[in-house]
Structure 1
Amino acid sequence: MVEEVKKFFHQLLKTVDGLQAIVITDREGVPVLKISDETASELALRPKFLSASGMAMEQAGKLGLGSNNYSISFFKNYQVVCFNKLPVIVTMIATAAANTGMILGLESDIENTLHEITSAVDVS
Protein backbone atom coordinates (compact mmCIF):
# COMPACT_ATOMS: atom_id res chain seq x y z
CA MET A 1 0.00 0.00 0.00
CA VAL A 2 2.83 2.43 0.82
CA GLU A 3 4.31 2.11 -2.66
CA GLU A 4 0.90 2.75 -4.24
CA VAL A 5 0.46 5.91 -2.15
CA LYS A 6 3.95 7.15 -3.08
CA LYS A 7 3.28 6.45 -6.75
CA PHE A 8 -0.03 8.34 -6.56
CA PHE A 9 1.63 11.42 -5.05
CA HIS A 10 4.53 11.28 -7.54
CA GLN A 11 1.97 11.34 -10.36
CA LEU A 12 0.12 14.20 -8.65
CA LEU A 13 3.37 16.15 -8.39
CA LYS A 14 3.68 16.07 -12.17
CA THR A 15 0.17 17.42 -12.82
CA VAL A 16 0.96 21.05 -11.90
CA ASP A 17 3.86 22.89 -13.50
CA GLY A 18 6.11 24.25 -10.78
CA LEU A 19 4.86 21.98 -8.00
CA GLN A 20 8.04 20.74 -6.33
CA ALA A 21 7.01 18.88 -3.18
CA ILE A 22 4.08 17.37 -1.35
CA VAL A 23 4.61 16.69 2.33
CA ILE A 24 2.10 15.10 4.68
CA THR A 25 2.81 15.70 8.35
CA ASP A 26 1.08 15.12 11.63
CA ARG A 27 -0.13 18.16 13.56
CA GLU A 28 3.31 18.64 15.18
CA GLY A 29 5.08 18.75 11.82
CA VAL A 30 6.55 15.24 11.86
CA PRO A 31 6.68 14.05 8.24
CA VAL A 32 4.51 11.03 7.45
CA LEU A 33 5.13 11.14 3.70
CA LYS A 34 7.49 13.35 1.72
CA ILE A 35 7.46 13.43 -2.07
CA SER A 36 9.69 15.93 -3.87
CA ASP A 37 11.58 16.50 -7.07
CA GLU A 38 15.20 17.60 -7.38
CA THR A 39 14.29 21.31 -7.55
CA ALA A 40 12.57 21.45 -4.15
CA SER A 41 14.13 23.69 -1.52
CA GLU A 42 15.69 21.69 1.30
CA LEU A 43 14.89 24.51 3.73
CA ALA A 44 11.18 24.19 3.03
CA LEU A 45 11.30 20.45 3.66
CA ARG A 46 12.78 20.75 7.14
CA PRO A 47 10.57 19.74 10.07
CA LYS A 48 10.91 23.19 11.70
CA PHE A 49 9.41 24.88 8.67
CA LEU A 50 6.68 22.27 8.32
CA SER A 51 5.69 22.52 11.99
CA ALA A 52 5.49 26.33 11.70
CA SER A 53 2.85 25.96 8.99
CA GLY A 54 0.75 23.72 11.22
CA MET A 55 1.10 26.05 14.17
CA ALA A 56 0.08 29.03 12.04
CA MET A 57 -3.06 27.21 10.93
CA GLU A 58 -3.89 26.36 14.53
CA GLN A 59 -3.39 29.95 15.67
CA ALA A 60 -5.52 31.28 12.80
CA GLY A 61 -8.36 29.10 14.04
CA LYS A 62 -8.19 30.86 17.39
CA LEU A 63 -9.13 34.21 15.85
CA GLY A 64 -12.79 33.41 16.31
CA LEU A 65 -13.54 32.74 12.65
CA GLY A 66 -13.59 28.97 12.98
CA SER A 67 -11.02 26.50 11.75
CA ASN A 68 -9.32 27.33 8.49
CA ASN A 69 -9.31 24.84 5.64
CA TYR A 70 -6.10 25.93 3.98
CA SER A 71 -3.44 28.61 4.00
CA ILE A 72 -1.35 30.07 1.21
CA SER A 73 2.01 31.74 1.79
CA PHE A 74 4.08 33.46 -0.88
CA PHE A 75 7.80 33.97 -0.58
CA LYS A 76 10.27 35.47 -3.03
CA ASN A 77 10.82 32.28 -5.03
CA TYR A 78 8.26 29.88 -3.58
CA GLN A 79 4.67 29.48 -2.53
CA VAL A 80 3.44 27.12 0.15
CA VAL A 81 -0.13 25.81 0.22
CA CYS A 82 -1.21 23.94 3.36
CA PHE A 83 -4.42 21.93 3.63
CA ASN A 84 -5.83 21.41 7.11
CA LYS A 85 -6.90 17.76 7.10
CA LEU A 86 -6.46 17.00 10.78
CA PRO A 87 -4.95 14.83 12.12
CA VAL A 88 -2.63 15.48 9.17
CA ILE A 89 -1.57 18.60 7.31
CA VAL A 90 -0.78 18.47 3.60
CA THR A 91 1.87 20.98 2.53
CA MET A 92 2.50 21.66 -1.15
CA ILE A 93 5.59 23.63 -2.10
CA ALA A 94 5.79 25.20 -5.54
CA THR A 95 7.57 27.93 -7.45
CA ALA A 96 6.18 31.43 -7.13
CA ALA A 97 4.99 31.23 -10.74
CA ALA A 98 3.00 28.02 -10.27
CA ASN A 99 -0.77 28.22 -10.69
CA THR A 100 -2.16 28.46 -7.14
CA GLY A 101 -5.69 27.62 -8.29
CA MET A 102 -4.51 24.35 -9.80
CA ILE A 103 -2.73 23.49 -6.55
CA LEU A 104 -5.89 24.21 -4.58
CA GLY A 105 -7.79 22.00 -7.03
CA LEU A 106 -5.64 19.04 -6.02
CA GLU A 107 -7.45 18.92 -2.68
CA SER A 108 -10.33 16.93 -4.14
CA ASP A 109 -7.90 14.58 -5.91
CA ILE A 110 -6.19 13.57 -2.67
CA GLU A 111 -9.29 12.96 -0.54
CA ASN A 112 -9.51 9.16 -0.89
CA THR A 113 -5.79 8.51 -0.56
CA LEU A 114 -5.56 10.96 2.32
CA HIS A 115 -8.33 9.10 4.13
CA GLU A 116 -6.17 5.96 4.13
CA ILE A 117 -3.18 7.88 5.51
CA THR A 118 -5.31 9.67 8.11
CA SER A 119 -6.72 6.43 9.45
CA ALA A 120 -3.17 5.13 9.89
CA VAL A 121 -1.99 8.30 11.66
CA ASP A 122 -5.02 9.06 13.85
CA VAL A 123 -4.32 7.50 17.22
CA SER A 124 -6.53 9.75 19.36
Structure 2
Amino acid sequence: MDIQKEFDNIISKTQGLQAIIVSDKDGVILIQSTNPAFSLNNIDSSLSTSFAVACDQIGKIGLSKNKSITTFYKYHQMIQFNYNPLIITFIADKNANTGYLLNIGNDFEKPLSAIANSIVNSENNNYNNKQ
Protein backbone atom coordinates (compact mmCIF):
# COMPACT_ATOMS: atom_id res chain seq x y z
CA MET A 1 0.00 0.00 0.00
CA ASP A 2 1.32 3.45 -0.95
CA ILE A 3 0.32 5.37 2.16
CA GLN A 4 0.84 8.82 0.62
CA LYS A 5 -1.49 8.01 -2.29
CA GLU A 6 -4.01 6.47 0.11
CA PHE A 7 -4.01 9.61 2.28
CA ASP A 8 -4.42 11.85 -0.80
CA ASN A 9 -7.32 9.66 -1.93
CA ILE A 10 -9.01 9.79 1.49
CA ILE A 11 -8.71 13.58 1.64
CA SER A 12 -10.24 13.98 -1.81
CA LYS A 13 -13.17 11.67 -0.94
CA THR A 14 -13.90 12.62 2.68
CA GLN A 15 -16.05 15.67 3.18
CA GLY A 16 -14.53 18.12 5.63
CA LEU A 17 -11.18 16.34 6.06
CA GLN A 18 -8.46 18.93 5.52
CA ALA A 19 -5.19 17.24 6.50
CA ILE A 20 -3.60 13.97 7.55
CA ILE A 21 -0.20 14.14 9.23
CA VAL A 22 1.98 11.25 10.37
CA SER A 23 4.74 12.27 12.75
CA ASP A 24 6.96 10.73 15.35
CA LYS A 25 6.59 11.46 19.07
CA ASP A 26 9.05 14.35 18.72
CA GLY A 27 6.88 16.11 16.15
CA VAL A 28 8.96 15.28 13.07
CA ILE A 29 6.55 15.01 10.14
CA LEU A 30 7.08 11.81 8.15
CA ILE A 31 4.05 11.93 5.83
CA GLN A 32 1.48 14.62 5.22
CA SER A 33 -1.42 15.10 2.90
CA THR A 34 -3.57 18.22 2.74
CA ASN A 35 -6.53 19.56 0.92
CA PRO A 36 -5.08 22.09 -1.57
CA ALA A 37 -7.23 24.88 -0.07
CA PHE A 38 -5.96 24.20 3.49
CA SER A 39 -2.72 25.56 4.90
CA LEU A 40 -0.66 23.92 7.64
CA ASN A 41 1.24 27.16 8.28
CA ASN A 42 -0.57 27.81 11.56
CA ILE A 43 -0.26 24.24 12.85
CA ASP A 44 2.33 23.94 15.60
CA SER A 45 4.63 20.93 15.27
CA SER A 46 4.59 20.57 19.07
CA LEU A 47 1.04 19.17 18.86
CA SER A 48 2.43 15.68 18.43
CA THR A 49 4.74 16.08 21.39
CA SER A 50 1.90 17.39 23.56
CA PHE A 51 -0.29 14.50 22.48
CA ALA A 52 2.42 11.97 23.34
CA VAL A 53 2.80 13.48 26.82
CA ALA A 54 -0.98 13.52 27.34
CA CYS A 55 -1.23 9.84 26.35
CA ASP A 56 1.56 8.98 28.76
CA GLN A 57 -0.10 10.85 31.63
CA ILE A 58 -3.52 9.29 30.95
CA GLY A 59 -1.91 5.85 31.13
CA LYS A 60 -0.37 6.72 34.50
CA ILE A 61 -3.72 7.49 36.13
CA GLY A 62 -4.98 3.99 35.51
CA LEU A 63 -7.15 4.48 32.44
CA SER A 64 -4.98 2.07 30.39
CA LYS A 65 -3.23 2.90 27.14
CA ASN A 66 -4.80 5.77 25.26
CA LYS A 67 -5.47 5.15 21.58
CA SER A 68 -6.87 8.49 20.40
CA ILE A 69 -7.89 11.97 21.48
CA THR A 70 -10.44 14.15 19.70
CA THR A 71 -10.30 17.90 20.23
CA PHE A 72 -12.87 20.39 18.99
CA TYR A 73 -12.05 24.01 18.22
CA LYS A 74 -14.15 26.90 16.92
CA TYR A 75 -13.81 25.93 13.25
CA HIS A 76 -11.99 22.58 13.25
CA GLN A 77 -11.64 19.28 14.99
CA MET A 78 -8.46 17.37 15.43
CA ILE A 79 -8.25 13.63 15.95
CA GLN A 80 -4.91 12.18 16.99
CA PHE A 81 -4.11 8.46 17.04
CA ASN A 82 -1.40 6.94 19.19
CA TYR A 83 0.43 4.24 17.20
CA ASN A 84 3.61 4.43 19.25
CA PRO A 85 6.09 5.70 18.12
CA LEU A 86 3.90 7.25 15.40
CA ILE A 87 1.13 9.78 15.80
CA ILE A 88 -1.50 10.27 13.12
CA THR A 89 -3.30 13.62 13.17
CA PHE A 90 -6.50 14.29 11.25
CA ILE A 91 -7.57 17.92 10.93
CA ALA A 92 -11.14 18.37 9.75
CA ASP A 93 -13.92 20.93 9.68
CA LYS A 94 -15.87 21.10 12.94
CA ASN A 95 -18.93 19.47 11.30
CA ALA A 96 -17.07 16.55 9.69
CA ASN A 97 -18.24 13.06 10.67
CA THR A 98 -16.06 12.29 13.68
CA GLY A 99 -17.05 8.62 13.90
CA TYR A 100 -16.13 8.08 10.26
CA LEU A 101 -12.76 9.78 10.80
CA LEU A 102 -12.07 7.59 13.84
CA ASN A 103 -12.78 4.49 11.73
CA ILE A 104 -10.43 5.67 8.97
CA GLY A 105 -7.67 6.32 11.49
CA ASN A 106 -8.08 2.87 13.02
CA ASP A 107 -7.69 1.32 9.56
CA PHE A 108 -4.13 2.69 9.28
CA GLU A 109 -2.68 1.01 12.34
CA LYS A 110 -1.46 -2.08 10.43
CA PRO A 111 -0.21 -0.31 7.27
CA LEU A 112 1.84 2.11 9.39
CA SER A 113 3.31 -0.65 11.54
CA ALA A 114 6.23 -1.14 9.11
CA ILE A 115 7.25 2.51 9.55
CA ALA A 116 6.77 2.26 13.32
CA ASN A 117 8.92 -0.88 13.49
CA SER A 118 11.68 0.84 11.48
CA ILE A 119 11.73 3.74 13.93
CA VAL A 120 11.81 1.42 16.96
CA ASN A 121 14.63 -0.65 15.43
CA SER A 122 16.60 2.49 14.61
CA GLU A 123 16.18 3.81 18.16
CA ASN A 124 17.26 0.45 19.58
CA ASN A 125 20.33 0.36 17.34
CA ASN A 126 21.30 3.90 18.35
CA TYR A 127 20.88 3.01 22.01
CA ASN A 128 22.96 -0.18 21.68
CA ASN A 129 25.71 1.64 19.78
CA LYS A 130 26.01 4.23 22.56
CA GLN A 131 26.64 1.60 25.22
Please list the CA deviations of residues 58-115 of structure 1 after superposition, one character each: whole Å capped at 9, or x if unmatched: 2222221111111100011111101111011111111101000010010343233212
Distance 1:83 1:20, change over 3 A: same
CA distance in 2, matches of 1:117, 1:14: 24
Structure 1 length as normaliser, TM-score?
0.85
How big is the alpha-carbon RMSD for the aligned residues of Structure 1 and Structure 2?
Answer: 1.8
The gaps in structure 2 that reach 5 residues or longer are: 125-131
State how many pairs are aligned.
121
Residue in structure 2 matched with residue 117 of structure 1 by the alignment: 115
2:49 pairs with one of 39, 48, 51:
51
CA distance in 2, matches of 1:86, 1:92: 16
How far apart, in 2, do the equivalents of 1:108 and 1:48 lie? 23
Instruction: After TM superposition, give the deviation of residue 41 of structure 1 in Å.
Output: 4.4
* % identical aligned pairs: 31
Note if contact 1:40-1:93 (Cα within 8 Å) is conserved in structure 2: no
Matched residue SS, 1:111? coil
Q: Which runs of 4+ in 1 moved over 6 A?
A: none
